[in-house]
Structure 1
Amino acid sequence: MNIQHLPLDQNINGWAALDNRIPRFSSLRGKITANWLVIGAGYAGLAFARRIAELRPHESVVILDAINIADNASARNSGFVIDLPHTVGSSSAELEHANTYRRLLQYGVNHLKQAVHQHNIDCDWMNSGKYHCAVSQQFDREIDNYQQELTSLGENHQFLEKDDLKKRLGTDFYRRAVYTPNCILVNPAALVAGLAASLPENVTIYANSPALQISTSGLIHAFTPHGEVRADKLMLAINGAARGLPLVKGSVFAMSTFATLTEPLTLQQRQRLGEISPWGLTPVNALAGATLRYTRDHRFLIREHVNFAPNLITNAVETGIHARRHQQLFSRLYPQLGEVNMAWSWSGLISITRNGAPVWGQLARNVYSAAGCNGAGISKQSAFGRLLAEQALGEDNPLLSDMSSLGRANYLPPRPLLDIGVKSFLARERWYARSEI
């Protein structure tokens, strides 16, 4: 298997730039052997490696990542450790599906929390909850339905309208929201770096070491620019980059998202907002709306716009265009903060499957994969990676039946048909939800 595309973003990841204590890992030089090879040091790959190392302490695990650990796709997201599915549905089948995802998400949250506390990972871990918001009356029904669905699940939540939202968010931009109290907010770069640095001793990580070619016939054999790894078994945790691999069979693709962090607000600027605590906000339409955060150090995060990214590359010009959009959106949200400067803008990658099911499980003899997160990647992929390790080792976990019930990712058409389909879908969603930004 030849890796056809490697991720490239020409902009500084603001989350990593905030913390100069983030550890760096050396790149691979020379030839090494291991019992297990994991390609991709995101949440799925790290969770898989940790669980393998815990259950098989005498076996060696090697992790390869194409770039710096605190700069990979897992480190570039918005930092929401989601505990509940964004949408539920009303039929009995939909409710059961939502229950399954709730169990898996909360399993991921709990094990991340355990690792953060056990290893004192400084990642601004905050149980701040989440506001699921709508701007226009057009989406009142979606908010009402989400309330009813959470009630059906027995989940604690709160319905808020414009005036109450303004008190909590510092803006009257939003019309309605449902608040759920157990979403965790983090600095994702600090979290993924801390998880990597705290792995058991039988795990070795090499950064800036992309696997350029992988052989799975017989012994696993992976080639990097300056080294080689031979291993007994392989786990692929490369999400959207897996599309070109024959074993994945074209069932996943990548999209880029764009984010901006502001400079920290001064005391005078904070006084204009009122007394607000750190919060996170997701839009009722994830593809067309904006995800926002107000951080512990008094910055705003704006994540808005999604592009099809089949080659995993985002250049500075493209990011710059969306940085200007973020500045304009921020000015509409917070006209009282017009002089606040933007500090960093960057892009990140998410992986998508057609039917929402993951590319998870055993792909071939001695080859495993956890890809296709479809959002909520921190908690979801942490759960998927850990459970995949238990399946690979023949361990018994009742959540493995939940994973099986998610089904398999559907086949996607080849390019350029895929390009046409994805871009058309995005255009429709943006038009439909144009009132939300």
Structure 2
Amino acid sequence: MKIHRLPKDDNTNGWSAVIPARKPHYALKDDINSDWVVLGAGYAGLAAARRLAENCPDQKVVVVEAGQVGENASGRNSGFAIDLPHNVGSSLEELEGSHRFMRLARMAIDQLESTVKLHNISCDWVRAGKFHTAVSSRGRQNVLEPFAKELEALKEPFEWVEGATLEQRLGSPHFNAAIYTPGCALMNPAALVRGLADNLPDNVTLVENSPVVEASFQNGIKLSTPRGSVRAPKMVMGANGFSEQFGFFNRRFLHLVAHASLTRPLTEQERANFGVVEQWGLTPANAFAGITMRYTNDHRILIRQGLSYCPSQRVATSQQAAIRRNHIALFKNRFPSIANVDMEHTWSGFVCLSRNGAPGFGQLTPNIWSAVCQNAVGVTKGTFGGILAADMATGRENPLISDMQSLGQPDMLPPRPFLDVGVRARFGWELWTNRNEA
């Protein structure tokens, strides 16, 4: 089959722009054979490749990446490795589901942290926790207070922060209240995924700038690139939303785009006015109307805002200037003490969601396994999905596989254009009803 839509790097990713340049691995130029092929070098693909190499030390693994590692979705997120579900239910069944998710997420965070330390990956990895914030009293009452009760039911540690204490810790008077939980790790995501790619086991070969333009699943796997091909009897699919191009999960995924900006580093005087010493990360009570933010180790502030429906998986260049202006206005509103700080980088990243929040995980055919659709929690969900797909594919017993399977499979979506109308109407409703959280 011909592949008609590929990832496109617009060279705007701020996370990669603020770290040293990296020489990519070679592009595929030959026809090669392998025991395994992994499609995609994001968190899922790299985790799967590492685990396959560990489980099958005498076998060869090839990872095929369309662009350069860290320049697509895996390196463009906000840099949170999240250990708690975003929305926790209060029933016993929902609480048990939360426990299963936490086991998976914490396994992934531990694995990532171990790899970062082992290979001395410079990505500003820190277990700083995160703030879940509400701007309005309504957000506090409808989101934070129930969240606190559910964390108590889960026996999870948390801290309620508000008033002058919250303003002091975030350097902003904008927020009504927050719940701080300690388990989240923060990092530069582009630096993390680069480091993971550059420290793979010896029996893994990574090829970059090698977009797959044709795929055949007859008599094994054959992935053809413009200048070469890879043949293997077995494959792990880690291409996230682009897996539809290969005939899998048709009408199962929603493609969204989020926009982010990163300031220049604060000067010494600006840091004094800001008054914050430790880096932090915060997520909003409502993801549609609110803003995800970071204060980074190198004294920059990240704003991510503007989640919208984008089935084309493309953003026009003309949109970037308007997005940047909007982010500057949002920044000034939230940080009046340092309002003259400018945005140095603005970029967009694509998010793959399913209607019911389930991942695209498991065995797709007798010789293809999948770890895609991370539902906007890519660092942890991609990592544990890739590890468990590799364990399933190699027959390695792992009790967490059943936890993963309990998350279900993506529901079927309505056909377009009915889907487009419904999604855009729902987004409009979410923005209007939660405008108090902007």
TM-score by length of 2: 0.97
Deviates more, 1:249-258 or 1:141-150: 249-258
**TM alignment of 1:92-131, pairs within 5 A:** 92-131=92-131
Residue 427 of structure 1 and its aligned partner are, at CA, apart by 1.1
Conservation of the 8 A alpha-carbon contact between 1:248 and 1:363: no
Residue 373 (structure 2) aligns with: 372
**TM alignment of 1:218-237, pairs within 5 A:** 218-237=219-238
Residue 53 (structure 1) aligns with: 53
Residue 67 (structure 1) aligns with: 67
Q: Give the SS at the match of 2:168.
A: helix
Distance in structure 1 (CA, Å) of the matches to 2:25 and 2:164: 48
Residue 216 (structure 2) aligns with: 215
Distance in structure 2 (CA, Å) of the matches to 1:217 and 1:421: 37
Distance in structure 1 (CA, Å) of the matches to 2:433 and 2:7: 31
Residue 242 of structure 1 and its aligned partner are, at CA, apart by 2.0
Q: Deviations over 1:281-322 (max 9, x none)?
A: 000111221000000111000000112221211122122221
Q: Give the SS at the match of 1:172.
A: coil
Distance in structure 1 (CA, Å) of the matches to 2:365 and 2:425: 34
Conservation of the 8 A alpha-carbon contact between 1:16 and 1:22: no
Q: Deviations over 1:31-50 (max 9, x none)?
A: 11111111110000000000
Deviates more, 1:146-155 or 1:332-341: 332-341
**TM alignment of 1:68-217, pairs within 5 A:** 68-141=68-141, 142-217=143-218
Conservation of the 8 A alpha-carbon contact between 1:9 and 1:316: no
Residue 286 (structure 2) aligns with: 285
1:234 maps to amino acid: M
Conservation of the 8 A alpha-carbon contact between 1:219 and 1:232: yes
Residue 16 of structure 1 and its aligned partner are, at CA, apart by 0.5
Q: Give the SS at the match of 1:282.
A: strand
1:44 aligns with 2:75: no
What residue ranges of structure 1 are gaps of 5+ in the alignment?
none
1:312 aligns with 2:313: yes
1:6 aligns with 2:3: no
1:431 maps to amino acid: W
Deviates more, 1:185-194 or 1:274-283: 274-283
Distance in structure 2 (CA, Å) of the matches to 1:388 and 1:294: 34
Distance in structure 2 (CA, Å) of the matches to 1:291 and 1:184: 15
Q: CA RMSD in A?
A: 1.2
**TM alignment of 1:356-371, pairs within 5 A:** 356-371=357-372
Distance in structure 2 (CA, Å) of the matches to 1:275 and 1:216: 54
Residue 421 of structure 1 and its aligned partner are, at CA, apart by 1.9
Distance in structure 2 (CA, Å) of the matches to 1:222 and 1:388: 20
Distance in structure 2 (CA, Å) of the matches to 1:24 and 1:227: 17
Residue 21 of structure 1 and its aligned partner are, at CA, apart by 4.6
1:216 maps to amino acid: F
2:91 maps to amino acid: S
Distance in structure 2 (CA, Å) of the matches to 1:8 and 1:312: 9
2:56 maps to amino acid: R
Distance in structure 1 (CA, Å) of the matches to 2:41 and 2:85: 24
What residue ranges of structure 2 are gaps of 5+ in the alignment?
none
1:151 maps to amino acid: E
Residue 9 of structure 1 and its aligned partner are, at CA, apart by 4.4
CA shift in 2, pair 1:276/1:131, >3 Å: same
Distance in structure 2 (CA, Å) of the matches to 1:23 and 1:185: 25
Distance in structure 1 (CA, Å) of the matches to 2:51 and 2:45: 10
Residue 118 of structure 1 and its aligned partner are, at CA, apart by 0.9
Residue 303 (structure 1) aligns with: 304
Q: Give the SS at the match of 1:254.
A: strand
Distance in structure 2 (CA, Å) of the matches to 1:72 and 1:130: 24
Distance in structure 1 (CA, Å) of the matches to 2:276 and 2:188: 22
Q: Give the SS at the match of 1:29.
A: coil
Distance in structure 1 (CA, Å) of the matches to 2:11 and 2:166: 33
Distance in structure 2 (CA, Å) of the matches to 1:88 and 1:78: 21
Distance in structure 1 (CA, Å) of the matches to 2:292 and 2:160: 19
CA shift in 2, pair 1:229/1:295, >3 Å: same
Residue 249 of structure 1 and its aligned partner are, at CA, apart by 2.9
Residue 394 (structure 1) aligns with: 395
Q: Deviations over 1:354-398 (max 9, x none)?
A: 101111011112111111111221011101100110011111111
Distance in structure 1 (CA, Å) of the matches to 2:64 and 2:155: 42
1:339 aligns with 2:332: no
Q: Give the SS at the match of 2:124.
A: coil
Conservation of the 8 A alpha-carbon contact between 2:42 and 2:70: no
Conservation of the 8 A alpha-carbon contact between 2:14 and 2:347: yes
Aligned residue pair count:
437
Residue 22 of structure 1 and its aligned partner are, at CA, apart by 3.3
